[in-house]
Structure 1
Amino acid sequence: MRLEIKNFPNQILEFDFYIDSMEDIDLKDRVHVIGTAVNNNGKVEISGKYSTKVKTQCVRCLKEIEIELSNNFMGTFLDESEYIQYLKSLNAECEINQNEIYDEIKDGVIDLEGLIREYIILDMPPYPQCEPVCEDDSEIEKHSDNGIDPRWQQLLQIKN
């Protein structure tokens, strides 16, 4: 979804749309996005909420699972001239807080799909697992061994 800044009525725009597919994300359902954009003379603040279901693989049993994701998102965008000034104002080493992170408005258009994609990737669990437990533990049992790695056996003999 792309928002065109020049078409903002009364400097506030409400949006409600669906994204069918995203790069590098296996979607089970479309991504539903609801939010508002406020234009303050070239500085556009966007906030809203997304919800979707993502297909991934359990790290324990390797079965395909479905994860439901839903969260708020926000972003601040600057028009091209203000964005260039922002980049010039950054020092080589400086601290940036959450309120000072800006993205660029390119040719009067904001790419919301990229912003939503970043939030989905950050909200995905790093080690997805079946809930509450895996149905088939055969893969886990096959690769679990409580014994000592034979490569370390001789070192243990030296210790004794």
Structure 2
Amino acid sequence: MPVTSTQRILVAQQFVRFGFGEHIEAGAPFYSADFLTQELTTTEVQAVLAVVERFNAFAGGAVAGAIERFRGRVRSWRFGRAGAPVLIVTLPFWTHQVEEEPLGAPTGTLITDEAHLALVEELRQLFVKDLDVLKFEAYPGLANSFAAWWR
């Protein structure tokens, strides 16, 4: 599980600036239409999201503020592009797997299917109704992960 680091924030912000290129800085000589950060905490991803002020329906500051309510309830976030912005959230299976829990933390309890489904539905409502995503669905290849894709 990731633990917030100022150095990680600075590096991730630069990584996203490179990836979004001209959408952040007019005339930027480089971009990547397909990239993802590594796992980030809520604090880290909020700082990274704010780098991309606007990309079609995506508004980085609004997304950063909206996900605050999931702090301490998720395992991690990843942000990048799949053509347009994509934000991936990975949910914990156990309570000790939430973000900011240091490695070696005492074993927690298994998160029930009902609690997991409720969290997924809360995420879906936020992204689809409030943040105008194109789609929100399970992310292939990452266990217990869901992605929000913008236009």
TM-score scaled to structure 2, two decimals? 0.27
Give the structure with the larger strand fraction. Answer: 1
Give the structure with the larger helix fraction. Answer: 2
